[in-house]
Amino acid sequence: MVGYACNENDARVPQEFYLARDLCQYIYDRHPYDGKTQITLNESGQIDTIVASFQDINSGALKELVLDWYACHARALPWRARSAPYAIWVAEIMQQQTRVETVIPYYRRWMERFPRLEALASADQQEVLQLWEGLGYYGRARNLHKAARVVMERFGGRLPQSRQELES
């Protein structure tokens, strides 16, 4: 059976806990396994660890189960609707040490003001920092701005596609 190291009535329990729990239950319902799943939270109420024993499931079957679950339960997030590497890069930087729910409005405003790498690279740093205001960790905004300028200068506005390009 699937077990959890959390009281479901605990107000500190984040949505991510329930998603992780539901995924483990989804897998168990379709492929019962011997072992147990344990999800623990840290002092802030965020997921600390997920330990699941899936020794009876081959990796291909587990991959399919996870992808099936994701197709049914994935949250609608603005960056998932975009395939442009720049848009995804911005989302990844914004989400570092920041909750997804916090990032969403900042991401939307950012992409409205800087829809393409060229717009970010040509912006004044003060404008970049002003748009980032309230998101915290301002070094991320400064580094993103600086990197956008480097990409424009060294790669003609195209994000590097290979490890070699990234390391150059």
Quick check: is 64 catalytic? no
Q: What does the pLDDT read at residue 66?
A: 79
Virtual torsion, Cα 28, 31, 32, 33, nearest 10 deg: -100
Q: What is the spatial distance between Cα 162 and Cα 168, in angstroms, rounded to a whole number?
A: 10
The DSSP call for residue 159 is: P
Q: What does the pLDDT read at residue 68?
A: 82
Q: What does the pLDDT read at residue 38?
A: 66
List, in sequence order, every residue forming a beta bridge with 52; answer none if it has no partner: 37
Tokens of 56: 């009876």
Q: Which of 8, 92, 101, 118 is catalytic?
A: 92
Q: What is the mean pLDDT of each run of 10 residues along the chain (168 residues)?
A: 42 60 73 63 68 66 80 86 92 94 96 97 97 95 97 93 85
Q: What does the pLDDT read at residue 32?
A: 62
Q: What does the pLDDT read at residue 142?
A: 98
pTM above 0.85, yes or no: no
Q: What does the pLDDT read at residue 71?
A: 82
Strands (E), the chain: 37-41, 47-52
Packing angle between helix 125-132 and helix 100-113, nearest 10 degrees? 150
Q: What does the pLDDT read at residue 37?
A: 63
Characterize the bridge pairing of strands 47-52 and 37-41: antiparallel
Q: What does the pLDDT read at residue 18?
A: 65
